Structure 1
Amino acid sequence: MIVVTGAAGFIASALVTRLNAANFNEIVVVDNFTNERKLLNLSGKHLQQYVDREEFFPWLDEHHADVEFIFHLGARTDTTETNRDLLNILNLEYSKQMWQACCQYQLPMVYASSAATYGSGTLGYSDDDALLPLLRPLNPYGDSKNDFDNWAVQQPEKPFFWAGLKFFNVYGPNEYHKGRMASVILHAFRQITETGSMTLFRSHNPDYADGEQQRDFVYVKDVVDVCMFLMQTRRHSGIYNLGTGEARTFLDLTLSTFAALDRPADIHFRDTPEDIRDTYQYFTQADMSKLRGIGYERPFTRLEDGINDYVRQYLVPGAYY
């Protein structure tokens, strides 16, 4: 059996789809399963069992001999969350318990970290372990992810294989439930289909023109391909960036969304909300040399191609991945 936590969420449900495509059908999905809209992400999947996240560790104590691999992707992912106690419970302590269980039962694991750990990016975007204690995230969510990364690399006892993945700006099908935290592509699609135009955040940094803010946007199908690679190789434990290695502008993204919809571009700007303005990142770009260095050779999807696939194959028909 393969365990996937946070399984009804965006990236994890895409991973379940990819596992099924590779004929892995004995999948144990772990989540709180209270969000009915998220549950649509698992509709039609070949699954072994649903386990509530509060019941998972007793379940694992009983069934660990049958578990082959754990993907721990469950987390509180709202970057505007200010409840540090909640983030500490869900993102730090639960992950510590997962790590310790994998050590106890000799289970390999991949877990979700985040590019939010890099903060303003003043130290760059290298996934070198030596930089981990120097990173200063810009929000409590990033702190929770960075705290676990630092804790993990310092542990004298580790799973025989483990990998933490610093997800950059992931987009793609099955993020319909994410609200404000959904990718800009989904917001653009909705605005364009409803109004014929798209409004982006204005730049409040003199080094960047409006719409020229840059992110490393990575298609969720590429993300799950990397997860599969790590499960299949099980070598070279460590923390890895997971982006494309190429920063693109929000104008690039928006123009590609208009093109995928066969509509003329009509773009406007508004001030960045004050609650995120001071912590807004103007540039992110993953250094992908570490993952490439362990043998991952597949190319990452060009932004234009990923948006075209996402919009035409999923957003327009309202399909799930």
Structure 2
Amino acid sequence: MYIVTGGAGFIGANLVHALNQRGITDILVVDHLTQADKFLNLTDLEIADYMEAERFLEAIEKDQFSGVEAVFHEGACSDTMATDGRYVMENNYAFSKTLLHWCQRHHIPLLYASSASVYGMTGSFSEERQAESPLNIYGFSKFQFDQYLRRMWTTLEAPVHGFRYFNVYGPREFHKARMASVALHFYNQYRLDGHVHLFAGSAGYANGEQRRDFIHVDDVASVNMHFLDYPRSGIYNVGTGQAQSFNDVAVTVVNSMRRMADEDIHDLASLQKSQTIRYISMPEALHGKYQSFTQADIHQLRAAGYNQPFLSVEQGVARYIHWLAGRES
């Protein structure tokens, strides 16, 4: 049996999909379904069982599972604007520690979601302590668990892999609302209004030229499957290693939708001139907390043996838009 916590969520459901593609269906999905429509992420997938996170925690504390091949731990409060620190630390940090120790006792590989948010505003994105300075309680919860794991490296009884995901986008994120990727927001904006909104220039960047390391969720799933097959304990950045602008994402979204409608394709300048791409002021709540640039240092990921190419924004976002359009039809 394989366990996927957060398995009804964005990355978790895509990991279930990746396992299904390997013919694996003996999967226990663990999640919170207080947001009930997340079940839609699982309707086309094959799983053996579902369990609410609180019951799962009680079950592992009582050692009620056997025959577990691996645990993919994606479950977390992922809202970077969350203000209930006690809830975030209990859900993200304490839960993860309990699961880690259970996996170690039973010699079960653990593959878990860390986050690029641990880097904060340092401007450095390598898996080193001096680069880590989270800006919010979500980032701190992920950072603190990484730190806890680091103190255990020499005593591990089973492989543990922490993945610092950068800006992930792709299928099965509809439920994330404001925390969804900009690709999904741009798709919805253009479909409904015929234009998209990006942030105006900030931190020395021109309008829409703030840059992030955008990674398609298929690539994230591929990394997880690689380390399932070839364990090598460590904490790894999971990004493409190449930052691209929000303008790049917007142009790809708009032109992908235009192609499907047999309309003319336009470059950034034309889309700006026609007001198809518009710029708005950054909300006050994000001032001083907004990463205008991220780019994963993927040297350690490559050194650990993952050598597959990553989708560019132009490739990955176009693939995603076609998936979204097919879902709407």
Short-chain TM bin: over 0.9
Aligned to 1:269: 279
Match of 2:71 in 1: 70
SS in structure 2 of the partner of residue 29 of structure 1: strand
Q: Deviations over 1:69-112 (max 9, x none)?
A: 00011000000001110111011000000111111111110010
CA contact (8 A) 2:125 2:131 kept: no
Query: 1:17-166, aligned counterparts within 5 Å?
Result: 17-60=17-60, 61-122=62-123, 124-127=124-127, 131-132=128-129, 135-155=132-152, 157-166=155-164
Instruction: Give the 3-state SS of the residue equivalent to 1:210 in structure 2.
Output: coil
Q: Confirm or deny: 8 A CA contact 1:115 1:241 kept in the other structure.
A: yes
1:214 is aligned, of 208, 211, 215, to 211
CA 283–316 in structure 1, closer or farther in 2 if over 3 Å, else same: same
Q: In structure 1, what is the Cα distance between the partners aligned to 2:10 and 2:18?
A: 13
Cross-structure match for 2:327: 318
Is the contact made by 1:121 and 1:284 (CA closer than 8 Å) also made in structure 2?
no
- Deviation of 1:317 (Å): 2.4
Q: 1:159 to 1:194 in 2, by over 3 A?
A: farther
Contact kept, 8 Å, 2:29 with 2:50, in 1: the verdict is yes
Q: Is the 8 A contact 2:202 2:210 kept in 1?
A: no
Aligned partner of 2:246 in structure 1 is 250
Check whether the contact 2:57–2:95 (CA below 8 A) recurs between aligned residues: no
Task: For residue 139 of structure 1, report the CA deviation from its aligned partner.
Answer: 1.1
TM-score (norm 1): 0.94
Runs (5+) with no aligned partner, structure 1: none
Give the alignment partner of residue 296 of structure 1, picking from 300, 306, 319: 306
The alpha carbon displacement at 1:34 in A equals 2.5
Aligned to 1:226: 223
Cα deviation for residue 33 of structure 1 reads: 2.2
Amino acid at match of 1:44: D
Structure 2: tracts of 5 or more residues without a match? none
Alpha-carbon offset, residue 159 of structure 1 = 4.2
TM-score, with structure 2 as normaliser:
0.92
Sequence identity, in percent? 38
Contact 1:212 1:250 in 2 (8 A): yes
Does the aligned pair in 1 maintain the 2:5–2:29 contact within 8 Å?
yes
Hey, what does 1:12 align to over in structure 2?
Answer: 12
The whole-number CA distance in structure 2 between the counterparts of 1:175 and 1:250 is: 18
Match of 1:102, SS state, is: helix
Quick one: distance in 1 between partners of 2:87 and 2:280? Answer: 32
Stretches (4+) displaced over 4 A:
none
- Structure 1 CA distance for aligned equivalents of residues 59 and 296 of structure 2: 37
Question: 1:133 and 1:54 mapped to 2: Cα distance?
Answer: 35
Report the secondary structure of 1:110's partner residue: strand
Deviation at 1:133, TM superposition (A): 6.2
CA distance in 1, matches of 2:194, 2:131: 44
| 8 Å contact kept, 1:201–1:270 | yes
Q: Secondary structure at the match of 1:65?
A: coil
Distance 1:2 1:203 in 2: 45
Aligned partner of 2:2 in structure 1 is 2
Q: 1:133 to 1:289 in 2, by over 3 A?
A: closer
Shift of residue 276, structure 1, vs aligned partner = 1.1
Could you say what the CA RMSD is over the residues aligned between the two structures, in angstroms? 1.5
Q: Distance in 1 between matches of 2:33 and 2:130?
A: 35
Q: What is the CA distance between 1:45 and its match in structure 2?
A: 1.4
